[in-house]
Structure 1
Amino acid sequence: MIRVVLADDEPVVRFGVKAVLATGGDIEVVAEAENGSEALDLVAKHRPDVAVLDIRMPGVDGLDAAARIRERHPETRTLVLTTFADDTYISRALGEGAAGFVLKTGDPQEIIAGVRAVATGAAYLSPLVARRVVDQLAKARPRSSATERIKVLTAREREVLGLVGAGLSNAEIASRIHVVEGTVKVYVSTILRQLNVRNRVQAAIIAHEAGLIPA
């Protein structure tokens, strides 16, 4: 069972997200918070597998909470709930420790998929969020930038990067390319180092921008 702490300052949103997660069958919301500070306390108390955090909350917002959770409780992964209006927050979040982003207004099944993905150590980007971020990054740098960056990778590493961008865990990638999971971990570590990125989410953005996501 994947244990979740859910934080959102809107009771209706918390109710809806909790109801959606309950349909997954393998996810349990163990505690709910109205703000980031309360979420930090509940994560410390319950040590959940995943913290689902709204970006915009009073006091400590979701991104500050994600950064502090990464620092204090690295075993807890964070999934951020966002809206299209949160472009600047998404950009900031790439370096703040969040493992995934899901739209509040998107397909409810994406929230379940996101929780499952980040719980296994994978990155997860809602397809609409991924396209939004890629479009935003494209305004700040030439589209050829990502293509140039991945030239340092081998063909196999590019394949793995594309699967990381698709939200697959190391175990799922290992099964897909027929290697042991330890080999995938080495590939991922090498990819992060070669691309000079801090985490799988940043790598996933490059994968999307470079067009490496498998059909």
Structure 2
Amino acid sequence: MDTMFLRGPAMRNVTDECLQIVIGDGHPMFIDGIRALLHTIDTLSIVAEVATGSAAYRSILDYSPHIAILDSAMPGMRGLAILEQLRTDAEGTAVIILSDCEETTYVHRVLATGVRGYVLKRSTGSSIIEAVHAVSRGGLYLDPAVAAQIIPTGVFGVSGTMGRKPAGRTLTDREREVLRLIALGFTNKEVAGRLGITTKSIETYKTRATDKLDIHSRAKIVQYAMIQGWLESPLP
């Protein structure tokens, strides 16, 4: 079967306080490693382990977990199609991708699907833990090796470290907050609900902000937000 449901000592009692997680990877030994890492966090509960993209999709719809940790190369992922579908059908689940790919264009494409975390498989286990903590707080996590490629390479005419910020582009407080929430992976509808305004207003603020900054893709919005340090701030 595609899905392996946990029983016995491997599964913890699920409570309202627990973060529920689905793990998806085509290699059982890798799943064993992720499970061992996550079991060091008392507030997490693994509700399902799967080996294919289709099983991941079904399990996420069945369990509505807070977080799904998925291998981008496991069978049945159909490129980014599963991720695109999850963004539509499972808005409440934050997806963390595990990947061997460090190619910047691919990372941009993955982020554009609404994925909240990107971890390289060659990284240490602590990266997965950090990613889980970041997305559970509503943030976004990029593996340091990936972030190092994306941020310093002349984004918005900026070079150097993330501490150097673009100047001369003034956003209103509302435009800034809308853009920040979009960078964190929220849909226009979710942003509208959080801020208590209409979806049409969100679209207007987003258009104004992106026109001012001359950025017109979600990947660029995420890059800008990271440079500004917005992703470390608490959610409203």
Q: Same fold (TM over 0.5)?
A: yes
Q: Is the 8 A contact 2:20 2:65 kept in 1?
A: yes
Moved more, 42-51 or 109-118: 109-118
Number of aligned residue pairs: 192
* Greater helix proportion: 1
**Which residue matches 1:212?**
228
2:125 to 108, 113, 129: 108
Which residue does the alignment assign to 1:36?
53
Change (3 A) 1:157 1:131: farther
Equivalent residue for 1:143?
A: 157
- Identify the residue that residue 113 of structure 2 maps to in structure 1: 96
Can you list the C-alpha shifts for 1:146-187, whole angstroms capped at 9, x where unaligned? 837x7133699879989x98x8xxxxxxxxxxxxxx78x9xx
Shift of 1:98: 0.7
- The 5 Å alignment of 1:35-54 reads 35-54=52-71
Provide closer, same or farther for how the CA distance between residues 212 and 29 of structure 1 changes in structure 2, counting only shifts above 3 A: same
Whole-angstrom distance in 2 between the partners of 1:99 and 1:9: 21
Distance 2:105 2:85 in 1: 19
SS of alignment partner, residue 147 of structure 1: coil
Describe the superposition over 1:29-73 as per-residue Cα deviations: whole angstroms up to 9, x where unpaired. Answer: 211111111100111111101111111122224732222111011
Structure 2: give runs of 5+ residues left out of the alignment: 1-17, 160-164, 185-193
Match of 1:19 among 21, 25, 36: 36
TM-score by length of 1: 0.69
- Would the aligned equivalents of 1:130 and 1:205 in 2 still touch at CA under 8 Å? no
The offset of 1:85, in angstroms, is 4.0
**Which residue number in structure 1 is paired with residue 170 of structure 2?**
152
Distance 1:8 1:32 in 2: 8
Detail structure 1 runs of 4+ shifted over 4 Å in the superposition. 154-162, 189-193, 196-199
- Give the gaps of 5 or more residues in structure 1: 168-181
Deviations 1:174-215 (A, max 9, x none): xxxxxxxx78x9xxx79855136676x75332234xx43499
Residue 132 (structure 1) aligns with: 149
Does residue 203 of structure 1 match 2:221? yes
- The structure that has the greater radius of gyration is 2
